[in-house]
Amino acid sequence: MASHGVRPTIDLQAGTQVLGQHLPRVLSFRGQTIEELGWSRPSDRTLLVPMRGTFGGNTEEYLLRLDFLAGSDWPPSARFVNPATLDYAGLAEQHHLPQLTSPEVHVHPAYQNPSGQKIQLVCCSAVFEYYDVNHGGEDTTLWRTGDTFNHTLVAIERAFRNHYSGRFDRHAG
């Protein structure tokens, strides 16, 4: 089980196993195939999930990238990416990020991690980076070993429904 104040250890082989084990369970739970959902799996550790938000009558599309970097004690890494590159190159691409500001999920385009780097942070206890930056919080929200990445998706989908306020503006600098 994840814990506040404990940084996760990267174990790519375990991450590959977790995605391989959890993907069929999540697809079964959702009652659809990977193709029907519009998801894609560009590597044995990566899942791309289209998401959308509606604000002010405008619906906008986003691409969430889940990377499975550790065993089942930790959630997947999650970040919104440029759909052309499948990556996020910092503030110059912040317009590919949704503004989500729920009590459960908050998107930061540039958050300083413990080593001083600026990273995109999908601040949510169901996301790897939440623990990697030593985020504090309530123990009741911690990732549990039996959780699947569906927990991550449901939290972000809920934020899109109830706390979405459009896309981040293009960065001027």
User: Other C-beta atoms within 10 Å of 47: how many?
Assistant: 23
Domain map (residue ranges) of the chain = 12-167
Q: pLDDT at position 113, please?
A: 85
pLDDT, one tens digit per residue, over 123-153 is 999 999 998 886 666 666 678 888 999 999 9
What does the pLDDT average to over 101-120?
A: 92
The C-alpha atoms of residue 59 and residue 172 are separated, in whole angstroms, by 24
What does the pLDDT average to over 86-95?
A: 95
The C-alpha atoms of residue 79 and residue 109 are separated, in whole angstroms, by 10
What fold, for 12-167? Ubiquitin Conjugating Enzyme (3.10.110)
Above 80 in pLDDT, residue 169?
yes
pLDDT, one tens digit per residue, over 49-89 is 999 999 999 999 999 999 999 999 999 999 999 999 999 99
Q: How far apart are the first and last CA of the chain?
A: 40
Above 70 in pLDDT, residue 4?
no
Residue 66 near residue 80 (C-beta atoms within 8 A): no
pLDDT, one tens digit per residue, over 19-52 is 999 999 999 999 999 999 999 999 999 999 999 9
